[in-house]
Amino acid sequence: MYTFPGSPRLVKGAIVAYDDKNKPTSIIRFQFNPDTLSRSLQAQTSGEGGAQADVLRLKGPPVETIKLEAEIDATDQLEVGDQNAVSMGIYPLLSALELLIYPDSGLVQDNEALLEKGAIEIIPPEAPLTLFIWGANRVIPVRLTGFDITEEAYDTNLNPIRAKISLNLRVLSYNDLSKTNLGYFIFKTHHLSKELMAKGGVSSISNSIISNIKFT
């Protein structure tokens, strides 16, 4: 893909997963930024039929969902002989995405061991805190509710080398998360950032959140 000399470097969107110690365990950058991003916001109001004094009351921030389509292509990596692409195609990136909705295998084994010992109640494993990063002014905690994968090409070993992915994300607000969760403060910062930008101010998410993530 040709670009004009001196053109600005394109910031890449990303999905980042954090462990319970607030350290990034998986950084999934979009190989090609999606051309479009669909967002839906549903107001959380007191609902119809309430008292007149409560009609305009908000129970919290809106419920926001995000849909986007991304493309993955290993052609360039195959041309330069990248060993991961040669041996696995785009499996590593697909696996990293899919694991966002898988329980940790170690925790699954621990729970199985507890059941064998007669444990009465097993607490389901938690998904990692996941951030959707779309530039410095949009860093938000999300839950991946599902996605569709269309594999379009394979190598001679049937490893997928090109695919389209449709992602469905549910934004998690401070109403969804506890105050001890990093995502609680990230969404609160996002909320304050919106208020500042709505007034024409310059806003940027705290550098401490994204300082260790390269977007280009």
Residue 210: pLDDT above 70? no
> Among candidates 68, 87, 63, which has minimal Cα distance to 77?
87
Q: Is the pLDDT of residue 1 over 80?
A: no
The pLDDT assigned to 3 comes to 44
Instruction: Provide the pLDDT confidence category of residue 175 given band limits of 50, 70 and 90.
Output: very high
3-state DSSP assignment of residue 63: strand
Give the residue, 9 or 124, on which the prediction is more confident: 124
* pLDDT of 4 above 50: no
**Which phi-psi region, left, alpha or beta, contains residue 140 (left: φ > 0; alpha: ψ -120 to 50)?**
beta
The secondary structure of 64-122 as a DSSP string is EEEEEEEEEE-HHHHHTT-HHHHHHTTHHHHHHHHGGGSPPHHHHHHHHHHHHTT-S--
**pLDDT tens for each residue of 143-173:** 999 899 999 999 999 999 999 999 999 999 9
Q: Does residue 68 register a pLDDT over 50?
A: yes
For residue range 103-141, what is the model confidence (pLDDT) as tens digits?
888 888 888 888 888 877 777 777 889 999 998 889 999
Residue 129 near residue 23, CB atoms below 8 Å: no
In one-letter notation, the amino acid at residue 158 is L
* 40-65 pLDDT, tens digit each: 999 888 766 556 666 778 888 999 99
Say if residue 214's pLDDT is above 90.
no
In order of 22, 48, 181, the CA distances from 123 in angstroms are 21, 37, 18
Phi, psi torsion values for 61, nearest 5 degrees: -65, 160
Instruction: Tell me which residue has tokens 């996605």.
Output: 147
Element (H, E) at 168: strand 160-171
